[in-house]
Amino acid sequence: MGRLGRLLSPRSLAVVGGRPAELALEQCRRLGFDGDLWPVHPTRALLDGIPCLPTLDDLPGVPDAALVAVNRYATVDVVGRLAAMGAGAAVCYASGFAEAGDDGRALQQDLLAAADGMPVVGPNCYGTVSATVGAALWPDQQGLSRVERGVAIVTQSGNIGLNLTLQTRPLSISHLLTLGNQADVGIEECLEDLFGRPSGFSRGPPRGGLARRGPL
């Protein structure tokens, strides 16, 4: 299992923020996630009917993965706190990083420094869904159902990923990973961690080696 194992098959999830975090909880419950769900918000009592914890310090355990759905400056602080407690990964929803000019590029470097080696998906991404366990760090509707196995979609674009889940298709989808800026976790690392997973897909014939020769 690679660096993304806890993100791809989490047993505990934290969601940090307001409405986007609440939507992620709705998607987790729709998909039947049966692990721990921990919403974090400083003033809200409930998110999607689940009692909120005011700070990350109040979490009853260390999350395997977390959706960070706060503004870009707060994102850096939250990621640092998650890394310090040993969280498995952070999915960063906020925009305004490297795609937004010099100031954003500097802030993205601050984000990576705060992560201190913890996997960071994004920033500026829609999120991830592991349909095999019902885990949706995804602040919107999406068209996946709970499955035991299937193909995985790894894309930079959240809109492309979302549209693919809503289309009629002959194959089940096991994982959806939208990577945004790819400040840390990139497409190649996702593919390496997904290859050979019981719920994912196997390494194929020659086409699987194309990525080593250049961009696809």
pTM: 0.90
Hunting for tokens 């997904």 — which residue is that? 194
Domain 5-197 has CATH 3.40.630.30: no
Which two three-digit tokens encode residue 59?
């979490």
Residue 167 pLDDT? 87
Closest listed residue to residue 183, CA positions, set 129, 104, 66, 67: 104
Ranges of each domain in the chain: 5-197
pLDDT at residue 168 in the model:
79
| b/e burial code for range 154-163 (CB count within 10 A of at least 16 → b) | bbbebeebbe
Q: How confident is the chain (216 residues) per 10-residue block, as mean pLDDT?
A: 93 99 98 98 98 98 99 99 99 98 98 99 98 97 93 93 85 95 97 75 46 43
The pLDDT value given to residue 171? 85
